[in-house]
């Protein structure tokens, strides 16, 4: 992965001059005054680990070859991939680089690392694909920490074709997992925008949700078993698909972001690879009308595999078609709905007919296969587009939430207003776009994309806007995150969401599993007392 951006550098594409001109004229975007640093120009402070520490850690992971302290390895494990993260690393900020990168090769080696780090009071940050956008890789209040890179744990352990489950190791990147399963005729059906680089362990630790969630469910819906290494020992969870034997501890680990333990194996539901797939686009005159149509489908069915709605601004600008920005759509384009169907030809035809009837009755206009095909072929491109925007001096970032259907209008209006007012007051008026991409019978998610000029201090500008948006989410009754997670960026608002007693419960769990507080300190929940 590109150290200062997203994904494969070969896939990056500069913005056309016409689009750069549009950004300049519309938002006042100006080119950066200084070139971004190269990785060879960056330096990191000397590791704070002693020779005795490094020797102990090497013994835990099977030798010194699996302990990296060189500058490049540490830089590549610094923070995640949020826009503030990228702006900081591009500016050469490496003060919060890990002191070493460890690469364990087994569950037992992970346990050995946690034992050594507990004894030596070294913080541990589990690292999968490095795709966190919420400060999930930035521990707080630590004297030293290591990144625990799980890339060597990358096997498809087993497939149970009778139960249709598979056991996957956490370091498997999503494309690798999908390829291994497809060799056996199966798929996970999990395709988030981070698909190219995110890992199985990261999906579980952050409660990921993929673009085909309407058909396959969220990743936490797919998980039926977990093996977790903790400083106190091993948790083996999931003896059956469902159980009434007390609270489900699988749910305690899912979404815990490495604060309670390190996931070393995940048992997931799998599905036969569909024989056919079909995508299409529809137009609605307004976001409200489109949302009402999605609600009818979510509640009464049948659900397509993919069901998403872009608001007027996202449709007009062209982010509804992630292969371009300023894609030629007019202001009269309304709101684009993308549908995706998978299965046999007969299943697709049957579901399509019912869904089309619902959309027509709700006021939709069918646009044919073109918009749907464009979306599916470019659905992983948006992060590359963000890099291109940063390169020309624009600021681009996303945030997301979810709520019950009755609260969606107020949530949408409140967050959009908070972002617009705060950034405009800072001298960087934004374009704020939104789409619904995950639906349920009771509610849906809202995913916002914000583009503005960077201004004199883009990170500070965004911090104010992000805080205002978070406040608006809580005020409107939304959840602080639907699928990005908590990290450190959302932690204070998560505490408001679950209340003081909820925070005490989580602290009690952490104190039981991680008494020394070495696992991802400050992520998910603030420590009860300052770190030593």
Distance separating alpha carbons of residues 195 and 201, to the nearest angstrom: 13
Strand partners, 125: 147
**Residue 463: burial class (beta carbons within 10 Å; 0-12, 13-18, 19+):** middle
Q: Which of 216, 384, 447, 494 is catalytic?
A: 447
Residue ranges of E strands in 355-442: 365-368, 394-404, 431-436
Strands 306-310 and 223-230: unpaired
**CB 126 within 8 Å of CB 148:** yes
Instruction: For residue 299, give every residue at least 6 positions away whose Cβ sits within 8 Å of its Cβ, in sequence order, or none.
Output: 441
In a 13 Å sphere around the CA of 38, the CA atoms on its Cβ side amount to 2
Total residues found in the chain within this entry: 532
Helix locations, 28-182, DSSP H: 51-61, 71-76, 83-90, 107-120, 174-182
Cα distance between residue 446 and residue 434, in whole Å: 7
Torsion-angle region of 445 (φ positive above 0: left; ψ -120 to 50: alpha; else: beta): beta
* C-alpha span between 193 and 205 (Å, rounded): 17
Active-site residue flag, 447: yes
Angle CA 373–374–375, to nearest 5: 90
Q: For residue 185, how many other CB atoms are within 10 A of its CB?
A: 12
DSSP letter string, 151-176: TT---EEEEETTTTEEEE-TT-BHHH
156/136 Cα distance (integer angstroms):
26
State the pairing for strand pair 276-284/233-237.
unpaired
Q: Three-state SS for 125?
A: strand
Q: Give the residue numbers annotated as catalytic, written as ranges.
A: 447
């Amino acid at each position: 992965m590109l150290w200062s951006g997203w994904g494969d550098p070969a896939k990056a594409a500069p913005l056309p001059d016409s689009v750069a001109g549009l950004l300049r004229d519309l938002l006042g975007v100006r080119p950066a005054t200084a070139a971004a640093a190269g990785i060879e120009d960056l330096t990191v402070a000397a590791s704070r680990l002693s020779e005795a520490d490094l020797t102990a850690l090497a013994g835990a992971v099977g030798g010194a070859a699996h302990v990296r302290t060189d500058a490049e390895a540490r830089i590549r494990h610094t923070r995640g991939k949020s826009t503030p993260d990228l702006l900081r690393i591009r500016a050469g900020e490496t003060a919060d680089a890990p002191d070493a990168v460890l690469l364990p090769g087994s569950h037992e080696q992970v346990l050995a690392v946690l034992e050594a780090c507990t004894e030596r009071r070294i913080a541990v940050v589990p690292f999968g694909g490095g795709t966190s956008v919420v400060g999930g890789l930035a521990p707080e209040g630590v004297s030293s920490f290591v990144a625990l890179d799980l890339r060597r744990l990358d096997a498809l352990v087993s497939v149970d074709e009778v139960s249709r489950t598979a056991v996957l190791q956490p370091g498997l990147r999503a494309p690798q997992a999908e390829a291994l399963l497809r060799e056996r005729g199966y798929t996970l059906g999990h395709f988030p925008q981070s698909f190219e680089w995110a890992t199985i362990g990261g999906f579980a630790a952050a409660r990921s949700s993929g673009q085909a969630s309407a058909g396959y469910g969220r990743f936490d819906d797919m998980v039926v078993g977990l093996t977790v290494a903790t400083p106190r020992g091993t948790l083996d969870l999931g003896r059956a698909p469902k159980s009434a034997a007390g609270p489900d501890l699988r749910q305690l680990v899912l979404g815990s972001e490495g604060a309670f333990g390190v996931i070393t194996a995940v048992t997931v539901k799998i599905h036969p690879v569909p024989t056919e797939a079909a995508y299409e686009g529809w137009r609605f005159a307004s976001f409200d009308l489109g949302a009402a149509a999605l609600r009818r489908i979510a509640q009464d069915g049948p659900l397509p595999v993919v069901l998403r709605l872009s608001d007027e601004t996202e449709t007009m600008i062209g982010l509804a078609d992630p292969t371009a920005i300023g894609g030629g759509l007019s202001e009269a384009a309304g709101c684009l709905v993308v549908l995706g169907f998978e299965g046999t030809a007969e299943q697709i035809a049957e579901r399509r007919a019912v869904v089309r009837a619902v959309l027509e009755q709700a006021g939709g206009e069918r646009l044919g296969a073109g918009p749907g095909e464009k979306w599916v072929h470019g659905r992983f491109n948006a992060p590359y587009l963000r890099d291109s925007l940063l390169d020309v001096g624009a600021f681009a970032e996303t945030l997301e939430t979810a709520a019950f259907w009755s609260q969606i209008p107020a949530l949408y209006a409140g967050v959009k207003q908070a972002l617009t007012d705060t950034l405009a007051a800072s001298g960087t008026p934004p374009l704020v776009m939104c789409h619904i991409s995950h639906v349920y019978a009771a509610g849906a998610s809202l995913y916002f994309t914000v583009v503005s000029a960077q201004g004199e201090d883009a990170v500070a500008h965004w911090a104010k806007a992000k805080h205002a948006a978070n406040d608006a989410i809580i005020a409107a009754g939304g959840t602080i995150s639907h699928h990005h997670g908590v990290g450190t960026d959302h932690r204070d608002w998560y505490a408001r969401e679950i209340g003081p007693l909820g925070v005490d419960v989580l602290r009690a769990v952490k104190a039981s599993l991680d008494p020394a507080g070495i696992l991802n300190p400050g992520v998910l929940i603030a420590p009860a007392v300052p770190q030593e």
